[in-house]
Structure 1
Amino acid sequence: MTDTVSQLNRLIIYRNVIKDSLVQSMLSIISGSASLSQTSDWYGRLLEKAEHLSLRGNLLHQYLLYLIARDENVFSRTLQHSGGKLGKGLQQALVQDITLLQEFFVTDFRQYVDMELLGNYEPTVCRDQHALTVLQNAFLGVSRRPEELIDMLVQYYLRYGYGDIAGYTAFRWQGAIGLTGIEHYDTIRLTDIIGYERQKTTLVKNTEAFLSDRPSNNVLLVGARGTGKSSSVKALANEYFSRGLRLVEVAKSELQSLPRLMEVLRQYRQHFIIFLDDLSFEEFEVEYKYLKSVIEGGVETKPPNVLIYATSNRRHLIKETWADRSENLDELHRADAVNEKISLSDRFGIVLSFIAPSQQEYLAIVSELAHKYAIALSPEELKTAALQWEISHTGRSGRTAQQFINHLVGQQIE
């Protein structure tokens, strides 16, 4: 079995894989140099990873595939710029690495580790692992030539990316830290948002054009709170993850670091929606100028794989004051002041209005949610209770309807 250890130590492209602490410990166990305490510690850490990553099946295989999927190396980075083309030298090094990894995947480890525990593991929470399943089918399915596996890896990295980009649906940007993957991202889908079909259709068509590298627009979603503006944008990232769409949340306080974010996103083939939620500016705030500069194409232009989707309660993002209309200003200066206020909104090619639902639309949302959650009330009882809830809360909206249904579900459970 020392051959397995020495073989993996010959990896070139996937050198980071064997530098992983869990892989190092596993190789020590296989070579017989690990103590009983070190072996027990390895089991514990591997199970923690399996639960955290929702790995299932043979954990030795699954964890190694996870590392391969996420690995940032000369191969995965090169593909982002070459469009899938590989030089002869890189291809030759990959054939050697893939051959070594194939030998690992067919090795019988039963005499070294407890495969009854690790061979068919079921995590407590099973999450969708579609991206990882692609590599499972490649490496653990029928026997394939190394060249075939390389082609499959090329398609994987082109589609999903590498590193955290391959593993997260959405990110949070902070200039001082960089991109941070959001661990528990909202799982909402567009079908969960009731009503607003025209707005959702426009978003879908624009986003699909963007993913197909056809002309597309930045989008401003405007309207009352609780009408589904933010949820619609978040849902897009879930709908199109497998097509390479990622969402990046940027706070207003981070707008000045947008040029740095553009430079980071430019290096990937994946497509990114920069999400500016609940965006508006007071008269004294000047952060909007950084956003205008990026959209208009300042020193650091917006790369073609980036769009900006913003939500706001205001049609004009910058607050207009009476001073802007003052008679003390001459006509030219007054026009300049007003134009400055509305010019940012004009930079968004699509503006979608999310108007608070009418009573009939509100009741339709309540009815559909009640059916989804199997609420045991007659239509008349449901209508009466929903209208009472609306009056005593924040008015009619999809959010108010969902809160009402949550209340009813809670009462039923009691």
Structure 2
Amino acid sequence: MNGLTALSDVTEAGRPSQRHLTDCSWPQARRAARLAGRRPLPAIEAALADALGHTLAVPLAALTDLPAFDTSAMDGWAVSGPGPWRTVGRVLAGQPCAPIADGEAVEIATGAQLPPGATAVLRREHGRTVPDGGAPAAVATATGQGLGPGLLHALGTGSVPPGQDVRPRGQECRRGEPLLPAGTPVTPAVLGLAAACGHDRLTVHRRPTVELLVLGDELVDSGLPSAGLVRDALGPLLPPWLHAAGAELIGRRHVRDDFGLLRDAVRHSPADVVVTTGGTAAGPVDFLHEALAAAGGRLLVDGVAVRPGHPMLLAELPGGRHLVGLPGNPLAAVAGAVTLALPLLHALSGRPAPEARPETAAVVLPGHPADTRLLPVVRGERGVLPLAFDGPAMLRGLALAEALAVVPPGGLPAGAGVELLATP
């Protein structure tokens, strides 16, 4: 297959003597990355507190009706039948309740269980109570304290439709009903739904572990760079992005431009996925190909027809591990991440490929003559607009972007549909 091959004919120095690799297209590279992770990591049981960021390995089903009983949706009175009603007590959330008869009402708080026999809830602001015998009306207080036994009247029409302001049992779901499919990322909202439906634990895929190796003698981690040195932008940028894709980052370290150091770092990494930045091209200190060969790696993708980010790679390592090699330029590395790292991590996490939802190009989106282009964009009133500062070494455009537009070779005219890739 074009762009998919194995490293072979390795010399004693660890350098492949021959490599007949041709760049694969951007769609091919994305498919190859997902194929590399075609067997998701095993399922585990995780407590709700530990499940955030994992991916459901089985569908989430309700363990109870939700709500589990008829519930008051408002503060007021639970009433039975047509009014006026004789008030007979109060029920608060979390308290047991006794049945009420036709013509009776009980003061009720939001979330409290509706007493058996109640037909509706009269909102507090829509009712008033008067003592038995027709004494002057007295409006119930805003604190929820009524004036004791008396007659309750509905203001206005004098009636309450059956079911008014009642959340009936099972309104949201019934016990056993499937709520979310396998492959759903566990977000805070998913945790809340699972808890509401009675779950204490979730069956999720183990998160793929990732070690980030930042390569290069020219990088500094703090302060102002000088004398040919540059700040490491990818060390802070990539971990949150990889985490959002389902990964568990177990390490991040700086590796100098040394073949032996890089070989050992790749060979001995305990991570499911090693992500490197820099060293993917053919410069005098670009040792990644040689280090991969010496570590027993097998190239799956070596170079992708995409701008920026062309010299990216994907390899299989011994023990079922993988390595994603990203270019060293910041925006090029981001392009490599969305092309190879994220599809691989999604697949290993058990997540389906995101659906492509084309939007409209508001203006001409310039493309490369032969390669796919990933372009930082924002959404305007008439559609997608490109941003400036989109060079391989730039991050200013990405920092302003709402997405990356996938522009096919040759570009897109105004009004054309364009696929967008989300940016965290």
Task: Provide the TM-score with structure 1 as the length reference.
Answer: 0.25
Query: By percentage of residues, which structure has more helix?
Result: 1
Higher relative contact order (CA 8 A, sep 6+): 2
Task: Provide the TM-score with structure 2 as the length reference.
Answer: 0.24
